Amino acid sequence: MRFTLDVTMANTEGALERILGRLRQRSFNVCALNAGLSANMARMDVRVTLESARPIELAIKQLAKLIDVEGVEIIKAEEHHHHESKLRHPHNHTHGHHQDHRQHAPFEHRQPAFDLSPSQIGL
Amino acid sequence: MKGSEILIKALEAEGVDTIFGYPGGAIMPVYDALYDSQLKHILVRHEQSAALAADAYSRVTGKVGVCLSTSGPGATNLVTGIANAFLDSVPMVAITGQVGSALIGTDAFQEVDIFGISMPVVKHSFLVRRVEDLAETVARAFKIARSGRPGPVLIDLPKDVSIADLQNPKFEGNQIEAMPRPEAKQLAMARSMIQESRKPLVYAGGGIRIAGATEELIAFVEATGIPCVTTLHGIGAIPAQHELAMGMLGMHGTKHANMAVQECDLLIAVGARFDDRVTGKLAEFAPHAKVVHMDGDQFEISKLRSADCGIVGDIKVSLNFLHAKPQIEEWVATCMERKRQYAFTYDAPGDTVYAPGFIKELSDRAGDNTFITCDVGQHQMWVAQHYSFNLPNHHLTSGGLGTMGFGLPAAIGAQLAYPDARVVTMSGDGSFMMNIQELATVKRYNLPIKIVLFDNQALGMVRQWQELFFEKRYSEVDLSDNPDFAKVAEAFGIPAFRVEKREEVGPAIDRILSEDGPLLAHVFIDQAANVWPLVPPGKNNSEMLEATTV
Ligand SMILES: Cc1ncc(C[n+]2csc(CCOP(=O)(O)OP(=O)(O)O)c2C)c(N)n1
Ligand SMILES: [Mg+2]
């Protein structure tokens, strides 16, 4: 399954690295990446296409947990009906110069439980 | 004012009184500023212990723990302790000296990219590039460390920033943020689910300690009459002797706790996270239950097990609202009957010391104002099973990372926080060697810590797994050439004695409870003694192995 996410974040030391590290550690392969700073250099917009056997909600939650991340939004899901799931970071506010006028619902979704392979559970 | 002085003032503005650390080149300006400061600095003998002691200091006080090291090896030595705090959600600020800004990226002497190295095990990190940003960075670090789900934050401080001068720096300090209120709609839904349930069960985790919600949990359990199981970090959230307390669930949980989980029709998870040590095979965990999941961290809800009702926000408020009166007499009677039937017994044959019996007797006699820290292995599970805790922050254990070597530095952190409390660390012969150098810290500060060292001449827990799951092929678990730990302790100036027979246990505990200063009891136990019950890895919680079945 492939998903494209838009991530908006504060432009702080290591911000992009944090995103990529988090995705790698949680087993999401990055297929494409595009990142750019806002005009005043305070924020960064990242568009990332991911591939993984794990549910995309896991990636969204893990990214949204990062302190610098202000919003995560699915913009494309291949082999899937287009659906939107988005999450605003609880610590952050939307910055004025990039207002997103759509409504940001609090994160509330259902996902099927998934199991980690028992053979990977060890001492 | 110099950057290093700004750092100290900013720490003071956050209410910090004690920090744990070890000096070196890149952090020398900060140590110079410490020389004139009121902050109490505890010199440990390995940076890992600085982080672990700060972690424990935080667990027992609820404040943010602070540790300090130099760049390079000092910083890398901190990493295990930082990861320990990360996995157990302990608020901590770790400050590392860094080489001067101009040298960063040149592979300078004692330069490592600690910002990058620590990234996966911190909540957030800062590299301070300008002295103007320092005070605000410290304030932000503290705020992040304690907000939401707490955790460690790293501040990497280049040497040129700590010696730079700044006129009139501002210190703001932080107010502690209130947790958001849970949503009324979710609360109402949970309340009716509880009301309608016939076999409900509370599953309480480490989030209770973090939220300071023990009173609310007990009030909820008593008002609803619902039995309560706890995770390793939930131990003490409800007093062990409470009639509705069912003990720990999961891999080394009690039989009655695990049976209740597998049979319940409603699982009320409070500050718990469906960790694999708890659930065993996740798909078969609590298979008949609907789930109400309360947590301060919105990201935990439905992470591993989909919740039928997720309640984000202040656990205390939620618990207070949920005092329903379900009709559950039959279920409670079943749970209580099993609790009687499967209670632990202490009549193991033989005259060698039986560690669970030792722990039980100490628990019965030690009194309430006692903090217990432990290391990792069989002895850790015995402490969890056989010591009766009345408060969650009196049981200090490395649950998430499982860090051998946690026990002694954790005892140091706890004892410094509460000099008048009784602090006992229970360790294993393997784990104790991981931070044995801290005996010097115990001696230097004359901390009256009591060390109970269970010596089975083995890496017991690994040995147990090799016995059960690797056809008794005992690979590299033998520690029969252990040093004489009593002599080692004495070499550090700490009195010590041996406990070799079961009949010596009572007098040993007399001594542990009566002596004023530090003391080490070297307790010899049988290598063959294993931890029971045990849910084998990857199995569901109803497939428990017991001493009698293997
Ligand atoms: C730093 C670290 N290394 C390795 C392990 C894996 N491990 C878990 S328990 C254990 C054995 C602990 O031995 P000991 O401290 O003697 O405790 P016992 O099980 O014998 O009570 C080991 C090696 C660990 N948890 N932590
Ligand atoms: Mg051992």
pLDDT given at position B175? 72
CA A59, CA A21: separation in Å to the nearest integer? 11
Task: Supply the residue whose CA is at minimum distance from atom 1 of ligand 1.
Answer: B404
Distance from CA of A80 to the nearest CA of B (A): 21
Distance from CA of B538 to the nearest CA of A (A): 4
B460 vs A contacts (CB less than 8 Å)? none
Q: Are residues B123 and B196 in the same domain?
A: no
- In chain B, what percentage of residues exceed pLDDT 90? 95
Spatial strand order in the sheet of B18-21: B40-43, B18-21, B65-69, B92-98, B152-158, B124-127
Q: Are residues B141 and B205 in the same domain?
A: no
Q: What mean pLDDT comes out for the span B166-187? A: 88
Which atom of ligand 1 lies closest to the CA of B377?
19
Q: Are residues B332 and B407 in the same domain?
A: no
Is A67 within 8 Å of B144 when comparing Cβ atoms? Answer: yes
Q: Are residues B495 and B368 in the same domain?
A: yes
> Under a CB-based contact definition with an 8 Å cutoff, are residues B71 and B101 in contact?
no
Neighbours of A90 (CB within 10 A): 16
Neighbours of B350 (CB within 10 A): 10
CA B21, CA B26: separation in Å to the nearest integer? 13
Is B125 close to ligand 1, i.e. is its CB under 6 Å away?
no
pLDDT given at position A88? 57
Residue B193 CB-density burial (10 A; 0-12 exposed, 13-18 middle, 19+ buried) = buried
Q: How many CB pairs under 8 A join A and B?
A: 67
CA B393, CA B15: separation in Å to the nearest integer? 20
Is pLDDT of B142 > 70? yes
Task: Supply the residue whose CA is at minimum distance from atom 2 of ligand 1.
Answer: B404
Is pLDDT of A105 > 70? no
Taking alpha carbons only, the member of B399, B487, B488, B401 closest to residue B436 is B488
Is pLDDT of A96 > 70? no
pLDDT given at position B550? 63
Is A110 within 8 Å of B147 when comparing Cβ atoms? Answer: no
Angle at CA B124, nearest 5°, toward B181 and B232? Answer: 65
A64, A108, A113 ranked by CB distance to B306: nearest: A113
Angle between helix B355-366 and helix B378-386 axes, rounded to 10 deg: 40
Q: Are residues B138 and B32 in the same domain?
A: yes
Q: Is residue B179 part of a domain?
A: no
Residues written for chain A: 123
Split at pLDDT 50, 70, 90, the class of A103 is very low
Neighbours of B446 (CB within 10 A): 12
Give, as one character, the DSSP assignment of residue B101. Answer: G
pLDDT given at position B254? 95
> Under a CB-based contact definition with an 8 Å cutoff, are residues B161 and B6 in contact?
no
E-assigned strand segments in B122-171: 124-127, 152-158
Is pLDDT of B548 > 90? no
Taking alpha carbons only, the member of B210, B179, B141, B153 closest to residue B399 is B210
From A93-97, B128-132, B393-397, B468-472, the region with the lowest mean pLDDT: A93-97
Which atom of ligand 1 lies closest to the CA of B403?
26
Distance from CA of A76 to the nearest CA of B (A): 22
pLDDT given at position A106? 35
Q: Is residue B170 part of a domain?
A: no
Give the model confidence (pLDDT) of B330-388 as tens digits.
Answer: 999 999 999 999 999 999 999 999 999 999 999 999 999 999 999 999 999 999 999 99
Is B149 close to ligand 1, i.e. is its CB under 6 Å away?
no
Residue B102 CB-density burial (10 A; 0-12 exposed, 13-18 middle, 19+ buried) = exposed
If you search the block for the tokens 């408020």, which residue do you land on? B317
pLDDT given at position B78? 98
B120 vs A contacts (CB less than 8 Å)? 21-22, 25
Taking alpha carbons only, the member of A106, A3, A32 closest to residue B183 is A106
Is pLDDT of A114 > 70? no
Is pLDDT of B542 > 60? yes
> Under a CB-based contact definition with an 8 Å cutoff, are residues B233 and B224 in contact?
no
Is pLDDT of B467 > 50? yes
Is B453 close to ligand 1, i.e. is its CB under 6 Å away?
no
Q: Is residue B365 part of a domain?
A: yes
Q: Are residues B125 and B103 in the same domain?
A: yes
- Residue B215: in which H helix or E strand, if any? helix B214-224
Give, as one character, the DSSP assignment of residue B535. Answer: P
A113 vs B contacts (CB less than 8 Å)? 282-283, 304-306
Give the model confidence (pLDDT) of B386-415 as tens digits.
Answer: 999 999 999 999 999 999 999 999 999 999
pLDDT given at position B483? 98
- Measured in Å, residue B345 CA sits from the centre of ligand 1 at 25
Q: How many domains are there within chain B?
A: 3
ipTM of model over 0.85: yes
Give the model confidence (pLDDT) of B16-51 as tens digits.
Answer: 999 999 999 999 999 999 999 999 999 999 999 999
- Residue B78: in which H helix or E strand, if any? helix B73-87
The answer to whether A26 contacts chain B (CB < 8 Å) is no
Which ligand minimizes its atom distance to the CA of B383?
1
Backbone angles phi, psi at A46, to 5 degrees: -125, 130
Q: Are residues B149 and B9 in the same domain?
A: yes
Q: Is residue B347 part of a domain?
A: no
- Residue B4: in which H helix or E strand, if any? helix B3-13
Which stretch, A87-96, B344-353, B411-420, has highest mean pLDDT?
B411-420
Q: Are residues B93 and B234 in the same domain?
A: no
* A58 vs B193, higher pLDDT: B193
Give the model confidence (pLDDT) of B474-509 as tens digits.
Answer: 999 999 999 999 999 999 999 999 999 999 999 999
Classify B165 as helix, strand or coil.
strand
Interface test with A, best of B118, B276, B309, B475 (most A CBs within 10 A): B276
Is B299 within 8 Å of A121 when comparing Cβ atoms? Answer: no
Q: Which residues of B are catalytic?
A: 47, 109-110, 159, 461
Residue A25 CB-density burial (10 A; 0-12 exposed, 13-18 middle, 19+ buried) = exposed
Q: Is residue B528 part of a domain?
A: yes
Q: Is residue B437 part of a domain?
A: yes
Q: Are residues B263 and B151 in the same domain?
A: no
DSSP for A33-92 reads EEEEE-TTSSEEEEEEEEE-SS-HHHHHHHHHHSTTEEEEEEEEETTS-----EEE-TT-
Q: What is the CATH number of the domain that holds B518?
A: 3.40.50.970
Q: Are residues B308 and B401 in the same domain?
A: no
- Measured in Å, residue A4 CA sits from the centre of ligand 2 at 50
Neighbours of B178 (CB within 10 A): 8
B286, two tokens: 């609590």
Q: Are residues B367 and B396 in the same domain?
A: yes
Split at pLDDT 50, 70, 90, the class of A79 is confident
Q: Near ion ligand 2, which residues have CB within 5 Å?
A: B 428-430, 456, 460
Contacting residues for B314 by C-beta, under 8 A, at least 6 apart: B178, B179, B180, B181, B182, B211, B296
From A18-22, B297-301, B410-414, the region with the lowest mean pLDDT: B297-301
The answer to whether A64 contacts chain B (CB < 8 Å) is yes
pLDDT given at position B450? 98
For B129, which residue in chain A has the nearest alpha carbon? A13
Split at pLDDT 50, 70, 90, the class of A81 is very low
Q: What mean pLDDT comes out for the span B437-463? A: 98
If you search the block for the tokens 């080149």, which residue do you land on? B25
Q: What mean pLDDT comes out for the span B434-458? A: 98
A22, A58, A121 ranked by CB distance to B276: nearest: A121
> Under a CB-based contact definition with an 8 Å cutoff, are residues A10 and A20 in contact?
no
Q: Is residue B542 part of a domain?
A: no
pLDDT given at position B176? 74
Split at pLDDT 50, 70, 90, the class of A102 is very low
Is A123 within 8 Å of B305 when comparing Cβ atoms? Answer: no
Domain region containing B14: 3-163
pLDDT given at position B158? 98
Interface test with B, best of A19, A111, A123 (most B CBs within 10 A): A123
Is A113 within 8 Å of B462 when comparing Cβ atoms? Answer: no
For B119, which residue in chain A has the nearest alpha carbon? A18
Q: Is residue B348 part of a domain?
A: no
Which ligand minimizes its atom distance to the CA of B355?
1
E-assigned strand segments in B364-484: 370-374, 395-396, 422-428, 450-455
Q: β-strand B266-270 against B290-295: which pairing, if any? A: parallel
If you search the block for the tokens 């969650």, which residue do you land on? B392
pLDDT given at position A86? 57
The 3-state DSSP composition of chain A as helix, strand, coil percent (nearest 5) reads 20, 30, 45
- In chain B, what percentage of residues exceed pLDDT 70? 99
Give the model confidence (pLDDT) of A23-34 as tens digits.
Answer: 999 999 999 999
Which ligand minimizes its atom distance to the CA of B382?
1
From B73-77, B91-95, B211-215, B296-300, the region with the lowest mean pLDDT: B296-300
Interface test with B, best of A12, A13, A85 (most B CBs within 10 A): A13
* B448 vs A54, higher pLDDT: B448
For B124, which residue in chain A has the nearest alpha carbon? A67
Q: List the beta bridge partners of residue B371.
A: B423
> Under a CB-based contact definition with an 8 Å cutoff, are residues B77 and B45 in contact?
no
The answer to whether A109 contacts chain B (CB < 8 Å) is yes
The answer to whether A97 contacts chain B (CB < 8 Å) is no
> Under a CB-based contact definition with an 8 Å cutoff, are residues B367 and B340 in contact?
no
Q: Are residues B412 and B532 in the same domain?
A: yes
pLDDT given at position B549? 63
Q: List the beta bridge partners of residue B67.
A: B20, B94
The chain-wide mean pLDDT, for chain B, equals: 96
Is pLDDT of A122 > 80? no
Which atom of ligand 1 lies closest to the CA of B456?
20
If you search the block for the tokens 């632990």, which residue do you land on? B344
